[in-house]
Amino acid sequence: MSKTAQTVWNNCLEFIKDNIQPQAYKTWFEPIIAVKLTDNALSIQVPSKFFYEWLEEHYVKILKVSLTKELGEKAKLVYIIKMENTYGNKQPFTEKIPSSNRSAVKSQEVDIPLKNKNPELRNPFVIPGIRNVKIESQLNPNYSFENFLEGDSNRLARSAGLAVAAKPGGTSFNPLLIFGGVGLGKTHLVHAIGVDIKDKYPEKTVLYISAEKFTQQYIDSVKKNNRNDFIHFYQIIDVLIIDDVQFLSGKTGTQDVFFHIFNHLHQNGKQVILTSDKAPVDMQDIEQRLLSRFKWGLSAELQTPDFETRVSIVKNKLYRDGVDMPDDIIDYVAKNIKSNVRELEGAIISLIAQSSFNKKEVTLDLARIVVEKFVKNTKREVSIDYIQKVVSDYFQMDVSTLQSKTRKRHIVQARQLAMFFAKKFTKASLASIGSQIGKRDHATVLHACKTVDNLTSTDKQFKKYVDDITKKLSV
């Protein structure tokens, strides 16, 4: 029987499978595709450059042994790196495949001699502010499970958190992704998990970090040329908590490195905990392969708490601060501040402060004034989603119509208005506005803003649209 790339590779896989951990096999070998066999060289396609680096660093020996068994002493392995759009042409080494061999997959071929590189040990990466030897967890002990009050809105997320804390890395909730709107307790809950783990397993290395800080560290490491140390540092963590991963959207370099770290941790049974302001399906500009990783474990939503939960959160806060407050006031505040626990707490703190400052009892009148201030302030935060909703409602169309590719004039105008208001009322970049409003590029958004400016000064009807929508967005 003549040998084909597939049969040779299948035999290699069989051998490899018997010799490494099942999880590692799944992660690093199942995604590989055998592409071709020429004489003694087998070409395999790997999903990314990281993948190739990883195989080279960890599995080159077993690859060599298995391939030599199949193809003899002169066996050679050729990696074909499937290019992800995001890599562009950043890769330093290229050896073009002759065009006749080019398949539909855009790829780069890298010819690697099969020798064990025996990677040297590197110093642990030092994060500014974190001591060299002992890794500080960066956890806030005030954010505990005990004072994370349970309600229908958070029951699933809270119990998943407890399960993870009891057996970090040992449940199917890996990664655990907690998502939900602003001020609903994501940060609190993931700290609570970390704190609980530290309590139960003091020897485990737990690290809490915001995605923003993670990104900054990564950028610094690239500048300082110690990207590998950065990766290495994160790979020794037992429980990695990354807050607000939506921050990674559009940041392909950081996403790549996180993907790499994630795979390593996951494969070694380490726990990853993430938070995001959106469900994975709604995340924009996050690479597909990363999103699919997020979906491996459990995504649990924190919803807005119902009235009873809001009341118990307020009471708990008052109790901890040793303050008494009449029930009707608590009810009033909890009834009127609905969508954000942080604001609920803020209103209560503000009430306590005012009453102690004026040495007065908290009255319902005072509560009214304070609540009004809070409710008003929050209205000022306009999101791009909200703008799209308001604009499409105004023109009586669905948001999906507004985002569609159609060139129908009234829909194009609505879309341009949404872009214009997103520019005006949010801090988002043109590129980010474009990607959120129907996946357009920054030039389209810029053009939209100019068009709206022009039409506003030349077309009365159009000016009325702008004024009407401005009013709707400002209340």
Residues forming the annotated binding site?
A: 183, 185-187
Distance CA 176, CA 272 (A): 7
Shortest spacing between CB 277 and Mg ion, in angstroms: 8
The amino acid at 113: P
Q: Does 254 bind Mg ion (CB under 5 A)?
A: no
- Judged by CB under 5 A, the number of residues near Mg ion is 2
CB 466 within 8 A of CB 456: yes
Q: Does 48 bind Mg ion (CB under 5 A)?
A: no
Longest dimension (CA), the chain: 94
CB nearer to ligand ADP: pick between 186 and 264: 186
Nearest approach, Cβ of 281 to ligand ADP (angstroms)?
19
By beta carbon distance, the residue nearest ligand ADP is: 185
- Identify which of residues 341 and 455 has a Cβ nearer to Mg ion in the complex: 341
3-state per-residue secondary structure call for 153-202? CCHHHHHHHHHHHHCCCCCCCCCEEEECCCCCCHHHHHHHHHHHHHHHCC
> Residue 195 Cβ, how far from ligand ADP at the closest point, in Å?
13
DSSP type of residue 298: E
Check binding of 179 to ligand ADP (CB under 6 A).
no
Planar angle of CA 351, 354, 357, nearest 5 degrees:
145
The stretch near Mg ion (CB under 5 A) out of 55-63, 94-102, 180-188, 444-452 is 180-188
Candidates 12-20, 261-269, 341-349, 409-417 — which segment interacts with ligand ADP by CB under 6 A?
341-349
Contact indicator for 181, 304 with CB cutoff of 8 Å: yes
Answer for the pair 333, 351: CB distance below 8 angstroms, yes or no: yes
Interhelix angle 442-458/409-425, nearest 10 degrees = 100
392 binds, among ligand ADP, Mg ion, none (CB under 5 to 8 A by kind): none
Which residues, 6 or more positions from 351, have their beta carbon under 8 angstroms from its beta carbon?
A: 325, 329, 333, 362, 366, 367, 370
For ligand ADP, the closer of residues 80 and 341 by Cβ is 341
CB of 277 to ligand ADP, least distance (A): 8
Residue selected from 44, 311, 341, 455 as contacting ligand ADP according to rule CB under 6 A:
341
Q: Is residue 188 a contact residue for ligand ADP (CB under 6 A)?
A: yes
Q: How far is the CB of 368 from ligand ADP (least distance, A)?
A: 22
Binding-site residue ranges for ATP: 183, 185-187
- Cα-Cα-Cα-Cα torsion 74, 77, 78, 83, nearest 10 degrees, comes to 180
Task: Give the number of residues in contact with ligand ADP, rule: CB under 6 A.
Answer: 16
- For ligand ADP, the closer of residues 183 and 434 by Cβ is 183
Single residue of 37, 80, 149, 290 touching ligand ADP by CB under 6 A: 149
From the list 9-17, 59-67, 141-149, 264-272, the region that binds ligand ADP by CB under 6 A is 141-149
Q: Can you tell me which residue has the tokens 């804390």?
A: 165
Take residue 273 and report the two structure tokens written for it.
Answer: 């905990």
Cα 210 to the chain's mean position, in Å? 10
Q: Closest distance between ligand ADP and the C-beta of residue 201, in Å?
A: 23
Q: Which of 182, 219, 375, 412 binds ligand ADP (CB under 6 A)?
A: 182
- Interface with Mg ion includes 187 (CB under 5 A)? yes
Residue range at the interface with Mg ion (CB under 5 A); choices 78-86, 181-189, 276-284, 362-370:
181-189
Q: Would you give the distance in Å from CA 160 to the centre of its chain?
A: 19
Least gap, CB of 72 to ligand ADP (angstroms): 58
Which letter, b or e, does each residue of 353-383 get, where b requires 16 or more Cβ atoms within 10 Å of its Cβ? eebeeeeeebeeebbeebbeebeeebeeebb
CA-based nearest residue to 244, from 285, 270, 209, 219: 209
Contacts with ligand ADP by CB under 6 A lie at 147-149, 154, 180, 182-188, 313, 341-342, 345
Contacts with Mg ion by CB under 5 A lie at 186-187
